């Protein structure tokens, strides 16, 4: 028996994960295969907006102050999400299946024990982490991840395992394929912050952002599940007309109670062919989500295909158009759904879109005092744009756009407001940064 084979299981698993990190560095941040990038959005004329101000908002009348950037921790391994604990510590999720505790003094812990097995493939991995609003009493946290199918080892897999092997198969074949499962789970964080207890899977079918609503329910966003219906990952050359397919398998916002039960006022409960947790549908890949404190509405920021990234205000039961309507194009430059339609009766319009892409990774509304001119602004982390994007809002319309931190030249994966009103940012190169006004 080799030394590796005789090592403890945890050691063998850690070695496999380390090897996968090296092999999949280029693939880890891609939402689609690199070889499919056959065109650029700038190769084509920008789409016509549906109303004035829907895109290309002017810069703000007053620029933001100069910003001070401090590196708190220089090197996480594929960080995805950040959440503050009441004691001032932070939980950081890493896409390779790890949760860690981080502190302001630069310490970050060994991986927290008890995180469920995670499959890392293409854009799927361990994603968001969120703290229960009543954490001081119940110590509950929530997280989203991609679970391997039964019998398959956790770890990192080639990108074709999720893309080419799926879209090259017929729908009938796809329905027999066990690729993995998007999941939301909750657990109790131990008092010493070293392990998870009582891990429970609350629901399958969504694994992007977690947002707590003012009424105590929770929203979870999920990407288009193209593998379950007749669609390529970047839309198709025809419309999808089956309403049940659209509502159940396109990107969704789901709404559940914090124990996983279904709220009694969800919009599709009277329709037995629609999953009861579905709140809105027709999204592509909504990676940013936040409650507007001025209105209580959920705002979602999502990836288009080639161009056409969107900001949407979510309505119960709303159809947001994908895969039939988009301000973007297929990755080869062809029109989405064969028509390139940007509007269609029965679908909601985005309040704002970008063309070319910014590749949005996160979103939050600023409510602090450290940047008083930012109050009520929507802050969006741009991965492709390599900027923190500040959007001023008036009457649910975007009235200005400002791009910040462009000198960092970094993909911004998450942005969170700290208790003191400063911003904490995770970058795709693994840094945790603190942002304050430069004095």
Q: 57-66, 161-170, 345-354, 398-407 — which is least confidently predicted?
A: 161-170
Query: DSSP 3-state assignment of 424?
Result: strand
Max mean pLDDT among 6-20, 30-44, 268-282 falls in 268-282
**Strand, coil or helix: 174:** helix
Distance CA 353, CA 306 (A): 12
- How do the domains of the chain map onto residue ranges? 3-437
Residue 200 has pLDDT above 60, yes or no: yes
Burial of 116 (0-12, 13-18, 19+ CB in 10 A): middle
3-437 has which CATH code? 2.120.10.30
Indicate the DSSP class of residue 266.
-
Share of the chain above pLDDT 90, in %: 87
Residue 198 has pLDDT above 90, yes or no: yes
Place of tokens 């009441």: 86
Report the distance separating Cα 97 and Cα 79, nearest Å. Answer: 10
Q: What's the average model confidence in pLDDT over 186-212? A: 98
- Bridge partners (DSSP) of residue 130 are 142
- 231-259 per-position pLDDT tens digit: 888 898 999 999 999 999 999 999 999 99
* C-alpha torsion sign, points 308, 309, 313, 315: positive
Per-residue confidence band for 16, with pLDDT thresholds at 50, 70 and 90: very low
pLDDT, tens only, 310-322: 999 999 999 999 9
Tell me the pLDDT band of 439, cut-offs 50, 70 and 90: confident
Q: Which residue has the higher pLDDT, 30 or 409?
A: 409
Average pLDDT of the residues in 10-29: 43
Predicted confidence at residue 26, as pLDDT, reads 36
Beta strands 423-427 and 412-417, pairing class? antiparallel
Torsions phi, psi for 20 (to 5 deg): -65, -35
* Edge-to-edge strands, sheet with 378-382: 360-365, 378-382, 387-394, 397-404
d(CA 424, CA 248): 35
Lowest-pLDDT range, 18-27, 183-192, 216-225, 305-314? Answer: 18-27
pLDDT digits (tens, 9 = 90+) for 383-436: 999 999 999 999 999 999 999 999 999 999 999 999 999 999 999 999 999 999
Tens digit of pLDDT for each residue in 95-129?
Answer: 999 999 999 999 999 999 999 999 999 999 999 99
Q: Please compute, for residue 252, the number of CA atoms within 13 A of its CA located in the half-sphere on the CB side.
A: 28
pLDDT category, 36, cuts 50, 70, 90?
very low
Report d(CA 19, CA 27) in Å as an integer: 14
Higher pLDDT pick, 35 / 343: 343
Asked if residue 23 has pLDDT above 80, the reply is no
Per-residue pLDDT band for 167 (boundaries 50, 70, 90) equals: confident
Contact 317, 281 (CB under 8 A): no
Residue pair 253/301 in contact (Cβ under 8 Å)? The answer is no
């Amino acid at each position: 028996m080799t030394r590796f084979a005789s090592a403890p299981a945890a050691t063998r698993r850690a070695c496999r994960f380390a090897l996968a990190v090296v092999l999949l560095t280029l693939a880890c941040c891609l939402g689609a295969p690199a070889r499919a990038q056959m065109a650029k959005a700038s190769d084509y004329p920008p789409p016509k907006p549906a109303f004035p101000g829907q895109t290309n908002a002017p810069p703000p009348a007053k620029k933001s102050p100069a910003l001070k950037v401090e590196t708190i921790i220089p090197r996480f391994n594929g960080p995805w999400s950040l959440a503050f604990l009441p004691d001032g510590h932070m939980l950081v999720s890493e896409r390779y299946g790890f949760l860690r505790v981080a502190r302001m003094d630069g310490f970050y812990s060994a991986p927290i024990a008890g995180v469920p097995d995670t499959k890392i493939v293409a854009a799927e991995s361990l994603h968001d982490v969120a703290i229960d609003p009543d954490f001081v009493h119940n110590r509950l946290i929530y997280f989203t991840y991609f679970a391997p199918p039964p019998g398959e080892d956790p770890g990192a897999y080639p990108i074709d395992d999720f893309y080419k092997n799926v879209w090259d198969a017929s729908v009938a074949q796809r329905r027999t394929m066990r690729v993995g499962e998007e999941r939301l789970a909750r657990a109790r964080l131990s008092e010493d912050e070293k392990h998870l207890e009582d891990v429970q899977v609350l629901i399958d079918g969504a694994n992007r952002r977690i947002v707590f609503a003012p009424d105590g329910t929770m929203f979870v966003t999920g990407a288009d599940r193209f593998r379950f219906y007749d669609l390529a990952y970047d839309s198709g050359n025809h419309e999808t007309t089956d309403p049940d397919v659209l509502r159940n398998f396109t990107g969704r916002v789901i709404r559940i109670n914090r124990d996983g039960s279904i709220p009694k006022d969800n919009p599709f409960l009277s329709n037995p062919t629609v999953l009861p947790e579905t709140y809105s549908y027709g999204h592509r890949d909504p990676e940013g989500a936040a409650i507007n404190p001025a209105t209580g509405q959920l705002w979602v920021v999502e990836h288009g295909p080639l161009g056409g990234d969107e900001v949407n205000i979510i309505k119960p039961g709303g159809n947001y158009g994908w895969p039939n309507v988009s301000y973007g194009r297929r990755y080869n430059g062809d029109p989405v759904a064969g028509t390139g339609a940007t509007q269609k009766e029965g679908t909601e319009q985005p309040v704002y879109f970008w063309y070319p892409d910014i590749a949005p990774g996160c979103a939050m509304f600023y409510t602090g005092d450290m940047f008083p001119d930012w109050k009520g602004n929507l802050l969006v982390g741009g991965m492709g744009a390599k900027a923190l994007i500040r959007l001023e809002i008036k009457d649910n319309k975007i009235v200005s756009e400002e791009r910040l931190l462009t000198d960092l030249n970094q993909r911004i994966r998450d942005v969170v407001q700290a208790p003191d009103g400063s911003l904490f940012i995770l970058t795709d190169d693994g840094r945790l940064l603190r942002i304050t006004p430069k004095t």
